Amino acid sequence: MVGDAMPAPVIFDLDGTLIDSAPDLGLALNRLLGEWGRRAVTDAMVRSFIGDGAPRLVARGFAATGGALPAAESGAALARFLDLYAALPADPACVYPGVPETLDRLAGAGHPIGLCTNKPLAITRTLLADLGLLPVFGAIVGGDSLPQRKPAPEPLLAVLAALGRPPAGAAMVGDGPNDVAAARAAGLLSIAVSYGYPQGDPADLPADRVIDRFTDLPGALEALVQSRISASQGS
């Protein structure tokens, strides 16, 4: 926080930003593919599938192992995948280093904290609760909360509305192009982490900042605030 400015809201992506969900997503996906008589996919393939929600993850898994499912089967396959994934116990080891401490630091400094993920809301809330991260979030929007998903701006704006804050000065923290695109469309600052599932070189993402460690986040936020203040004073 700079001067007497109100601490800015910070919205987080989940998969690839706060947690490494690829092992559990891959386990559930491979169990699903096995039930449909398909071969297993590799961890690298699973990581390349993540970022656009469970329906796209499942569709990509089937496309990579023998072709797309008939439309009549896709709904049942998605429902079965979500059941398989939800049944897996939360693994504390999936939380990236520094996440709990940094979230607590930001919340303690007065930043309203929100979450915007393409993962279903009920699964998201259960997972966060099991990992001990749920209390820090003042608002959560999942992939099934609205008709739109990231990279559309509406989910981010819905998080801010639930937090009671405007977009001005708010920041979105994520690992992929959908997060950066949603932030830009909503008028938010964007910070990308380089360690998640960026689907390319993280340096190529048009984010305002790219950080290599989650613990670098408070400093990156401060730098963005300072930069915005300097720009406004110079205009």
Tell me which residues are annotated as active site. 13
* Structure-token pair, residue 229: 């203040």
Q: What are phi and psi of 112, to 5 degrees?
A: -65, 135
Using DSSP, state whether 166 is helix, strand or coil: coil
Residue 51 burial class via C-beta count within 10 angstroms: exposed 0-12, middle 13-18, buried 19 and up = buried
Instruction: Find out whether 24 and 88 touch, Cβ atoms under 8 Å.
Output: yes
74: part of which helix (H) or strand (E)?
helix 71-86
Q: List 234's β-bridge partners, or say none.
A: none
Q: What are phi and psi of 80, to 5 degrees?
A: -65, -40
Q: What is the C-alpha separation between 33 and 81, in angstroms, rounded?
A: 9
Using DSSP, state whether 17 is helix, strand or coil: coil
Using DSSP, state whether 108 is helix, strand or coil: helix
Using DSSP, state whether 33 is helix, strand or coil: helix
Whole-angstrom CA distances from 111 to 19, 83, 108, 127 are 21, 34, 7, 22
